[in-house]
């Protein structure tokens, strides 16, 4: 595929319009909007962590509307079964009276899926969703069904009310491209939210892109260049999260497991998405460091001492970024 600087500029302008249009309705939460778009461009998925009522559902609804994509919401509860997500095959009679299996698609067969409170469902049902996320297919009774394109899952979990929840295992958390923390709204943001949601004015969002354009944007993001020396900085970042390889004392002291190859892939893909959004056709060190915390914060597992001391993973990543690029981790 031959691409030009004009294509990057035009796509950057389109993506900026998407952010601005979503921002007409979503108050604050700039990081969530930004990294959700990066995840879509990277053909990945996002995990959102925030208190109830901070706009998680409206965020993905607004993105689906602006991008003209089909949307479904799955409320995860302990009694939810895998077939409630993927769908099931039913025996039905055709016009000739013959019985045959007919597949009824579940809510996972949308282009944008909100998996609300994913940590409230059993591991068996979690696995059904995560398989669809990773393989982009669903298999029911031996029949494999392709997912919609593009396919994006935004899963949420509540940092409070942990009783009766089933936290995602680390290996499954690693399948999310990034993890975004949604802060509570500020005083001014609370006032804006109330004005937008309790008045008579109804905000209608315009459709800025469609599925075909979004798939083209995903392909364009893959074309973003990364120089060898920038790639090695990314490798440094990943290796410095590993207590066996890092020179950082706090990482050695508090981290049990660092990030791995999938973390490196996610870091590069997200950095490319940011470069494209900024209208550039090459990745910079600034791109890597800008996206590092959301990409890596769910990939670092603290040890017992780290948990007991209340070590801040974002702060540890900050230390990693400070030393990365100065030399190779051992």
pLDDT value at residue 41: 92
Task: Write down the pLDDT at residue 155.
Answer: 87
Q: Which residue has the tokens 């409206």?
A: 58
- Rounded to whole angstroms, the maximal C-alpha distance in the chain is 74
Q: How far apart are the C-alpha atoms of 313 and 297, rounded to whole Å?
A: 6
Q: What is the pLDDT of residue 93?
A: 72
What is the distance between the alpha carbons of residues 51 and 43, in angstroms, rounded to a whole number?
26
Tokens of 101: 């299996």
**Residue 325 near residue 236 (C-beta atoms within 8 A):** yes
Say what angle helices 56-66 and 5-23 make with each other, to 10 degrees.
130
Phi, psi dihedrals of residue 98, rounded to the nearest 5° = -85, 145
pLDDT score for 173: 80
pLDDT in the model for residue 330 = 38
From the list 179, 180, 315, the residue with the least C-alpha distance to 251 is 315
Residue stretches of the chain with pLDDT short of 50: 327-330
In order of their start, the domains of the chain are: 5-199+209-213 (3.40.50.300), 224-323 (1.10.8.80)
């Amino acid at each position: 595929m031959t691409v030009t600087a004009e294509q990057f500029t035009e796509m950057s302008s389109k993506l900026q319009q998407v952010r601005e249009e979503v921002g007409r309705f979503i108050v604050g939460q700039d990081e969530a909007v930004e990294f959700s778009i990066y995840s879509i461009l990277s053909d990945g998925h996002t995990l959102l962590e925030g208190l109830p009522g901070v706009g998680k559902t409206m965020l993905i609804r607004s993105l689906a509307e602006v991008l003209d994509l089909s949307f479904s919401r799955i409320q995860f509860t302990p009694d939810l079964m895998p077939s409630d997500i993927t769908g099931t095959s039913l025996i039905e009679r055709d016009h000739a009276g013959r019985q045959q299996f007919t597949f009824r698609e579940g809510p996972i067969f949308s282009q944008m899926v909100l998996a609300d409170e994913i940590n409230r469902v059993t591991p068996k049902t979690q696995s059904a969703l995560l398989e669809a996320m990773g393989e982009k297919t669903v298999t029911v009774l031996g029949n494999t069904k392709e997912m919609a394109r593009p396919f994006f899952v935004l899963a949420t979990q509540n940092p409070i009310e942990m009783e009766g929840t089933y936290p995602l295992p680390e290996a499954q958390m690693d399948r999310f491209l990034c993890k975004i923390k949604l802060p509570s709204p500020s005083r001014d943001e609370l006032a804006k939210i109330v004005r937008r949601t309790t008045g008579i004015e109804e905000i209608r969002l315009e459709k800025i892109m469609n599925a075909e354009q979004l798939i083209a944007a995903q392909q364009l993001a893959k074309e973003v260049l990364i120089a060898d020396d920038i790639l090695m900085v990314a490798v440094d970042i990943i290796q410095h999260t590993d207590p066996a390889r890092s020179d950082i004392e706090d990482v050695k002291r508090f981290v049990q497991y660092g990030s791995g190859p999938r973390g490196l892939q996610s870091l590069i893909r997200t950095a490319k998405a940011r470069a494209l959004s900024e209208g550039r056709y090459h990745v910079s060190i600034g791109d890597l460091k800008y996206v590092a915390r959301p990409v890596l914060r769910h990939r670092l597992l603290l040890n017992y001492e780290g948990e007991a001391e209340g070590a801040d993973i974002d702060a540890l990543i900050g230390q990693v970024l400070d030393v990365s690029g100065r030399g190779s981790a051992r």
